[in-house]
Amino acid sequence: MSRLTVYRDTDPETPLVRTEDGAAIAAELKKIGVRFERWDLPRPAANASNEEVMATYKPYLDRLMAAQGYGTADVIRITPETPNLPAIRAKFLAEHIHTEDEVRFFVAGEGHFFMHVDGKVYDALCSEGDLISVPANTKHWFDAGERPNVVALRVFTDTTGWTPHYTGDKISDSFPAA
């Protein structure tokens, strides 16, 4: 189940907002330029290949990509068997920005996108069927937990825009990981 929790960036213990209502999540995130939608779409089989996942969502991706000017998409899988998982997780946990939007559609599993904007931290727990688009240059970090099981579509304008640029801020250490 998707959830949004908003905190002051100085107080990770006291939520200002906490909701599981999709419309409320979308409205709150829209205030900071983040797109959030729940897509009720067909699901591929649990053991579907990356090619089968892409084929299942092709009509929806084509519309999204055409409307937003994105150029390519791929499938990412993060599981406990992912090579170098602790190092990969650590890389995602450090606050950073990208020079283009970070767009994810969750096919399976869940993960937390933490966005640090205007003195607040927005913890968006995204799960199966959720689309999130974090605008370029938004400070954020991501966590799918120590034993992740995530399948997601990533959508790009230019994959070089996805190079993380770390802020050096240790704020992510103050907020609970997944």
Q: Is residue 95 part of a domain?
A: yes
- What confidence tens digit (pLDDT) does each residue in 68-122 have? 888 889 999 999 999 999 999 999 999 999 999 999 999 999 999 999 999 999 9
Tally of structural domains, the chain:
1
Q: Give the pLDDT score at 42.
A: 87
For the residues 110-139, what does the mean pLDDT come to?
Answer: 97
| pLDDT tens readout for residues 3-13 | 999 999 999 99
Domain that holds residue 78: 3-172
Buried b / exposed e over 9-42, threshold 16 CB at 10 Å, is beebeeeeeebeebeebbebbeebebebebeeee
Is the residue at 17 inside a domain? yes
Is 178 domain-assigned?
no
Query: Which pLDDT band holds residue 178 (cuts at 50, 70, 90)?
Result: low
Share of the chain above pLDDT 90, in %: 82
Domain CATH number, residue 136? 2.60.120.10
Categorize the per-residue pLDDT at 176 as very low, low, confident or very high, splitting at 50, 70 and 90. confident
